[in-house]
Structure 1
Amino acid sequence: MSVVGGRVWVYERCSENWKGILLDRDGDEPAIRRRRCSSRNPSIIPGEIKPINCLIHYALLEILLATNFSAMAGKEYVKEIERARRDLRALISSKNCAPIMLRLAWHDAGTYDAKTKTGGPNGSIRNEAEYKHPANNGLKIAIDLCEEVKAKHQKITYADLYQLAGVVAVEVTGGPTIDFIPGRKDSMISPEEGRLPDANKGASHLRNVFNRMGLSDQDIVALSGGHTLGRAHRERSGFEGPWTRDPLKFDNSYFVELLKGDSGGLLKLPTDKALVEDPEFRKYVNLYAKDEEAFFKDYAASHKRLSELGFSPLSSLASGLKKTLTAVAVAATLVVLSYIYEVNRRESE
């Protein structure tokens, strides 16, 4: 390995006559040039060129190069995400479809099971078998809308696209900015039906569903505040009507209306009423009704947790690096064995 003119040169392999094949990794494509190795080890065969030190240098540098290339690929993906974000913002604003986009993101993520590590935000809701679950009635509309963006940004996974759509839906309607980290993988495996909340049930059911995902009481109440957007449709859920006076504005009015009790024309599901009836839930309802800033802060954190269930950017990076290290180790072992064989062969001549 050497540095010439600010460029890193590494010995890719040594040929039979011990000439190194050098790769210029400064450009987009490796520039292959043959040069004689600079590494010698006279203790084995005096005067001969030995590739073993080159190999060690190569293995170490290859790890750094692979990590750097992964980072470069990651940067390009992030740029594509930002372009998709702009297109989603325009689409959601023009179609007034923020509520159903948010619902799509939730329902793709809300199937996660922390014990079995199945379900979660993996794009599986696009499978016909899953979007036809009764709990997902109407979401084919959002899936088709997302296809318009996917067609322009094909490198993006469906898993990232659906969660990004949920983030943008909140932001364009006046809600908090939600930290979004890409890198989710797509899956074609749909979880069994029945993992999503049932609107007809109460507090214990909510806890069972959200605790299964690894979420807390605070997450339950904060995420329920997302009902500030949209309305229920009888043909989809059996319920009808909006939760707030302005179903296209993300604010804390959902909690304000909850504390008012029954209000003419506004919907309150059994699961909504449970938030007021349960003392642990109610303390968060009271807080969010009087302090929108606190609601926005907690909602952004809970939404991020929901959108990353079963997904860890650090574990994803570690997995990729582990594969790189394994590949380099295997390659290094093979070359070392070849080198030992060659040395033994020459000594026996």
Structure 2
Amino acid sequence: MSFTTLGLSPDLLKILSNQNFALPTPIQEKAIPAILNRQDVLGIAKTGSGKTASYVLPILMNLQKAAELKNRHVHVLVLVPTRELAEQVKAVFQAFSKGLAVPVKTTAVFGGVSINPQMTALQNVNVLVATPGRLLDLVDSNAVHLGSIETLVLDEADKMLNLGFKDEVDRIISLLPVKRQNILLSATLNADLRLIHQVLLTDPEVIVIESEEASLAQIKQVAYIVSDEKKGPFLRYLINHHEMKQVLIFASAVHTADAIVNKLRKNNFDAKAIHSKKSQGARTETLYLFKSGKLRILVATDLMGRGIDINELPFVVNYELPRSPKDYIHRIGRTGRAGSIGEAISLVSPDELSHFEVIQKKMGKEVELIDSGSVLK
């Protein structure tokens, strides 16, 4: 199937061609026609499967048909859990909007930065991408009104509910028109998501893309048994031994991420950390440097990792194991994307061995486990 069969306009097809989008992904094949038909949609597919474009393209198409687009109210609201994802979604809307017959203005609002420039940027906005807390700040300041929302998108809904945004999301939904299109997208379907699905969606098109196992086939996984005190030196050995030109390292805590970076920099490695304690400006700059290949090593916590989307990232390293097997799959899924081969390396301390067995069981895949001492001999 090609994009030409999905009901998109010639303008959007031309934009897709110019950006080298050849074939739709499975989630795009199913979601685009449903959203074009103004159906509610529940889409479950892993991160990196093309979920963002699956709703951006048909929403832009529907906006092209909207005669009332010229008014000053927001038509589309996209709720996301993190600032990084807000910027990423905004960038996708803007990239696909260039050259459309009817101009579409998209902006993103999120906390951690001054609210005043965001208030100014809201003028004549058609698509608003927002984190829940900052959106409610703007609502309370009468800077934005949600009475004209025609389409609501909850992106990364599983993470949003896990992070405790449920009360804020409930309040936002209470401010929206009853008659609207709802699009709920998630990497997983858990109990909280089933509940909000039942409340929010009306006769939805349910799309479940079971592709995590297939994507794992693109990722070479290996784990090393290494004590906590030797993880730093062994990490530096791996970076040199594999001649890693670009590597994403996951840590489970902010202070660990900073400690890893400090040690790497003391040993003349080009490294930066990205986590919730960094300013928005620092996070944006660091992410730009890494994505553009100007930064060799990025150390991230799990939450920040959700905004890192690179088609050909060669290496991911788990300096520590995450608590959740799903987070493990999400972490290593940063590599091996868009048909490219990637390598995921885990540093497993003796205390983590039983937990790593649980991760492998949940993943349905056995990972080669090597004693780091034998490697260094």
TM-score, normalised to structure 1, is 0.21
**Which one has the largest radius of gyration?**
1
Higher helix share: 1
TM-score, normalised to structure 2, is 0.20
Higher strand share: 2
